[in-house]
Structure 1
Amino acid sequence: MHALKKHRPLRRVTLAAVTTVTGVVLLLSLKPHTAPTLAQASSPTNQSASSGSSSGSSGSSGSSKSTGTKTVTGDSVQTRYGPVQVRVTVKNGRITEVTAVAYPQDNPRDQEINSYAIPQLKREVLAAQSAQIDSVSGATYTSGGYTQSLQSALDSAGL
């Protein structure tokens, strides 16, 4: 009976070691989130079209800033979870509309986070009338990309 008791701890140790190694292998085999190539390919086209229209009116930015309406699309900013790009409408020197043209939407978690983050960021921009806004908790990467794209759009608009 003494010999049986010796083998039991060895079996438990072996089972624990095999389980641990299997768990580590499974954990390491997970792939990180990657951005879709389709969204990246369409973003520069939107940006070049809008920057063409904004560069045509940027020569008279002093007069259009106070009297006209401009819609400018900011740079596409690559974040950890995908590209973020913002379009801004400026009327009489004030931001009247902010639209997120591109943002991470690949999986349900991205959709859940951005369904509350994007409207909150929009409200903050319209209230602050600048890119100096707070990040949304839980959407740090999207908030950072949103702010960078917004700043590039405001720079192009002459604000």
Structure 2
Amino acid sequence: MRRITFALMSTVTALVLLFSYHTSTSSQLSAAPQAAAHAGTSSSGTSSSGTSSSGDTSTSGDSSSSGSSSDSGTTVYTGDSVDTRWGPVQVAITVSGGKITKADAVVYPTENPRDQEINSYAVPQLNSEAVQSQSGSIDAVSGATVTSDGYIQSLQSAIDQANL
């Protein structure tokens, strides 16, 4: 009887330790270096909008909200930076004629290879869906739930700034 009790308690202890082990050692980086790292990759990774405006105006390093106008009547609104479990997410939208013409994640997690793999397919899908829906009511991408949640919050912040 004592052997069974000991074996059962050892198994329970091992399971508790196994399920409480965190597999990722994600450390937070500041938003400024990530924004600089994404300045070249984020505009080339989103070919779904079909426009070729310069992405330099929307990739500010700070996490504050901003809007900037250009000569053609388009305005870029940058949503609030949202801290997620894997890193900050920040979205900028381009509005022309009261419509979202482009959505771009200017800051998103790329700290490790798994983040890069997930976000390489998730961010373009989220960008495309934001333009199609013209609202913050978009579906999360399967397998990228944390990034999707941060994206949707930042997108809604940018939409609120644009009064859409």
- TM-score, length of structure 1 as denominator length: 0.67
Structure 2 CA distance for aligned equivalents of residues 35 and 73 of structure 1? 25
Q: Give the AA of the match of 1:146.
A: Y
Aligned length: 134
CA-to-partner distance for each residue in 1:13-53, whole Å, 9 max, x for gaps? Answer: 9xxx7xxx8998798675643343333677795333x52x4
Structure 2 CA distance for aligned equivalents of residues 29 and 134 of structure 1? 30
Match for 2:156 among 147, 151, 158? Answer: 151
Q: How has the CA–CA distance of structure 1 residues 121 and 28 changed in structure 2, closer, same or farther, with 3 Å as cutoff?
A: closer
Write 1 or 2 for the structure with the bigger share of helix: 1
Q: How has the CA–CA distance of structure 1 residues 155 and 24 changed in structure 2, closer, same or farther, with 3 Å as cutoff?
A: closer
Structure 2 CA distance for aligned equivalents of residues 113 and 23 of structure 1? 28
Q: Which moved more, 1:122-131 or 1:146-155?
A: 122-131
Q: How has the CA–CA distance of structure 1 residues 68 and 32 changed in structure 2, closer, same or farther, with 3 Å as cutoff?
A: same
CA-to-partner distance for each residue in 1:114-133, whole Å, 9 max, x for gaps? Answer: 00000111111111111111
Contact 2:32 2:61 in 1 (8 A): no
| Residue 132 of structure 2 corresponds to residue 140 of structure 1 | no
Q: Give the AA of the match of 2:132.
A: A
Name structure 2 gaps, 5 residues minimum: 1-5, 36-59
Contact 1:86 1:153 in 2 (8 A): yes
- TM-score, length of structure 2 as denominator length: 0.65
% identical equivalent positions: 53
Contact 2:31 2:62 in 1 (8 A): no
Contact 1:84 1:104 in 2 (8 A): yes
Higher Cα radius of gyration: 1
Structure 1 CA distance for aligned equivalents of residues 34 and 112 of structure 2? 19
Q: How has the CA–CA distance of structure 1 residues 112 and 146 changed in structure 2, closer, same or farther, with 3 Å as cutoff?
A: same
Tell me which residue corresponds to 1:46: 62
Tell me which residue corresponds to 2:115: 110
Q: How has the CA–CA distance of structure 1 residues 101 and 35 changed in structure 2, closer, same or farther, with 3 Å as cutoff?
A: farther
| Residue 98 of structure 2 corresponds to residue 93 of structure 1 | yes
